[in-house]
Amino acid sequence: MHCSPCFSRPGKPTDNAFIESFNGQLRKECLNVHWFLSRGDAHEKVDAWRKDYDEVRPHGSLGSHAPAEVGRIDNGTSENAENAGTTVLPESRISQNSQNPH
Protein backbone atom coordinates (compact mmCIF):
# COMPACT_ATOMS: atom_id res chain seq x y z
CA MET A 1 0.00 0.00 0.00
CA HIS A 2 1.38 3.40 -1.01
CA CYS A 3 0.65 6.54 1.04
CA SER A 4 1.41 10.07 -0.03
CA PRO A 5 0.75 13.43 1.61
CA CYS A 6 -2.44 15.20 0.67
CA PHE A 7 -2.29 18.99 0.56
CA SER A 8 -5.09 21.51 0.32
CA ARG A 9 -5.40 22.89 -3.16
CA PRO A 10 -4.46 26.57 -3.57
CA GLY A 11 -7.55 28.75 -3.42
CA LYS A 12 -9.68 25.94 -1.92
CA PRO A 13 -10.02 26.75 1.81
CA THR A 14 -12.89 24.29 2.12
CA ASP A 15 -10.41 21.42 1.68
CA ASN A 16 -9.60 21.85 5.38
CA ALA A 17 -12.01 24.27 7.00
CA PHE A 18 -10.69 23.62 10.53
CA ILE A 19 -7.14 24.78 9.78
CA GLU A 20 -8.45 27.71 7.75
CA SER A 21 -10.53 28.80 10.74
CA PHE A 22 -7.53 28.43 13.07
CA ASN A 23 -5.28 30.38 10.68
CA GLY A 24 -7.86 33.17 10.51
CA GLN A 25 -8.10 33.38 14.30
CA LEU A 26 -4.30 33.39 14.67
CA ARG A 27 -3.93 36.16 12.12
CA LYS A 28 -6.82 38.28 13.46
CA GLU A 29 -6.07 37.93 17.18
CA CYS A 30 -2.28 37.70 17.24
CA LEU A 31 -0.36 38.44 14.06
CA ASN A 32 -2.33 41.57 13.11
CA VAL A 33 -2.31 42.88 16.69
CA HIS A 34 1.39 42.68 17.64
CA TRP A 35 4.63 44.13 16.36
CA PHE A 36 7.39 41.57 16.67
CA LEU A 37 10.73 43.11 17.58
CA SER A 38 12.74 39.89 17.30
CA ARG A 39 12.28 36.18 16.75
CA GLY A 40 12.30 35.70 20.53
CA ASP A 41 9.64 38.38 20.96
CA ALA A 42 7.50 36.73 18.26
CA HIS A 43 7.93 33.34 19.93
CA GLU A 44 6.80 34.72 23.31
CA LYS A 45 3.74 36.52 21.92
CA VAL A 46 2.58 33.67 19.69
CA ASP A 47 3.17 31.14 22.48
CA ALA A 48 1.09 33.24 24.91
CA TRP A 49 -1.72 33.36 22.33
CA ARG A 50 -1.46 29.60 21.74
CA LYS A 51 -1.68 28.85 25.46
CA ASP A 52 -4.77 31.03 25.76
CA TYR A 53 -6.29 29.35 22.68
CA ASP A 54 -5.47 25.82 23.87
CA GLU A 55 -6.12 26.15 27.59
CA VAL A 56 -8.28 29.12 28.54
CA ARG A 57 -10.70 30.27 25.85
CA PRO A 58 -13.98 28.44 25.36
CA HIS A 59 -14.44 26.52 22.11
CA GLY A 60 -17.84 26.11 20.46
CA SER A 61 -17.01 22.53 19.48
CA LEU A 62 -16.60 21.71 23.19
CA GLY A 63 -19.92 23.16 24.28
CA SER A 64 -18.30 26.55 24.98
CA HIS A 65 -15.84 24.99 27.44
CA ALA A 66 -12.08 25.49 27.53
CA PRO A 67 -10.07 22.53 26.19
CA ALA A 68 -7.93 22.26 29.33
CA GLU A 69 -11.02 22.15 31.54
CA VAL A 70 -12.64 19.45 29.42
CA GLY A 71 -9.37 17.48 29.57
CA ARG A 72 -9.25 17.69 33.36
CA ILE A 73 -12.87 16.57 33.62
CA ASP A 74 -12.36 13.68 31.19
CA ASN A 75 -9.27 12.56 33.12
CA GLY A 76 -11.12 12.65 36.44
CA THR A 77 -8.98 15.44 37.86
CA SER A 78 -11.74 18.02 38.20
CA GLU A 79 -12.54 19.47 41.60
CA ASN A 80 -15.68 17.36 41.67
CA ALA A 81 -14.41 13.82 40.95
CA GLU A 82 -17.88 12.30 40.86
CA ASN A 83 -18.54 14.25 37.65
CA ALA A 84 -15.47 12.84 35.87
CA GLY A 85 -16.20 12.03 32.25
CA THR A 86 -18.96 14.62 31.98
CA THR A 87 -18.85 18.20 30.75
CA VAL A 88 -20.09 19.71 34.01
CA LEU A 89 -17.89 22.65 34.98
CA PRO A 90 -17.46 24.39 38.32
CA GLU A 91 -19.69 27.46 38.55
CA SER A 92 -16.66 29.78 38.82
CA ARG A 93 -15.36 28.53 35.45
CA ILE A 94 -18.75 28.98 33.77
CA SER A 95 -19.03 32.56 34.97
CA GLN A 96 -15.51 33.32 33.69
CA ASN A 97 -16.38 31.84 30.28
CA SER A 98 -19.50 33.94 29.95
CA GLN A 99 -17.45 37.10 30.54
CA ASN A 100 -14.61 36.13 28.16
CA PRO A 101 -15.25 37.72 24.73
CA HIS A 102 -13.14 35.10 22.87
Phi and psi, residue 63, nearest 5°? 70, 35
pTM score of the predicted model: 0.56
Rounded Cα gap, residues 77 and 74, in angstroms:
8
20-79 residue pLDDT tens: 888 899 999 999 999 999 999 999 999 999 999 888 888 888 888 888 888 777 676 655
Cβ-contact 30, 20 below 8 angstroms: no
